[in-house]
Amino acid sequence: MPSNTPYAVHTLYQLKCRVAAGQPPILSHVMRAIQYEINHNKDYNAAEELFRDLLLMLHLHPIDDGPHTLMSSLDHTMTRAVYSELDITCFQKSIGKLIRAAPQPKTALKYVCYLFEVSPPMRNERIENTALIDIIRVYARARGEYLVKALEFVQIGVERGLAVPNNTRIKHHLNDDAFQVACHPILRHNRLRFSNDGTTIDPVIEDAHDKYRRMIQ
Q: pLDDT of the chain along its 217 residues, tens only?
A: 445 555 577 999 999 999 999 999 999 999 999 999 999 999 999 999 999 999 999 999 999 988 877 776 445 545 566 899 999 999 999 999 999 999 999 999 999 999 999 999 999 999 999 999 999 999 999 999 999 999 999 999 999 999 998 765 556 677 778 999 999 999 999 999 999 999 999 999 865 555 556 556 5
User: Rounded CA gap, 29 and 101, in Å?
Assistant: 19
Measure the CA–CA gap between 167 and 144, rounded to whole angstroms.
32
Q: Residue 95 contacts by C-beta under 8 Å, 6 or more apart in sequence?
A: 51, 111, 114, 115, 127, 131
Specify the amino acid at residue 137: R
Q: For helices 85-100 and 105-115, what crossing angle results, to 10°?
A: 160
Q: Give pLDDT, residue 74.
A: 43
pLDDT at 69: 74
Question: With b meaning 16 or more CB within 10 Å and e meaning fewer, what string describes 127-163?
Answer: bbbbbbbbbbbbbbebeeebbeebbebbeebbebebb
- Within 8 A by CB and 6+ apart from 155, the residues are 201
Q: What pLDDT is recorded for position 1?
A: 44
| Alpha carbons 182 and 19: distance in angstroms, whole number | 40
Helix and strand counts by DSSP (H, E) for the chain: 10, 2
- Could you give the dihedral angle defined by the CA atoms of residues 40, 153, 88 and 55, in that order, rounded to the nearest 10 degrees? -70
CA pair distance 166, 23, nearest whole angstrom: 48
Q: For the chain, give the number of residues.
A: 217
Please name which of 100, 111, 170 lies closest in space to residue 138, comparing C-alpha atoms. Answer: 100
- The pTM for the full model equals 0.86
Q: What is the pLDDT of residue 138?
A: 99
Please report, for the chain, the start and end positions of each structural domain, with discontinuous segments joined by +. Answer: 1-123, 125-217
pLDDT of residue 210: 56
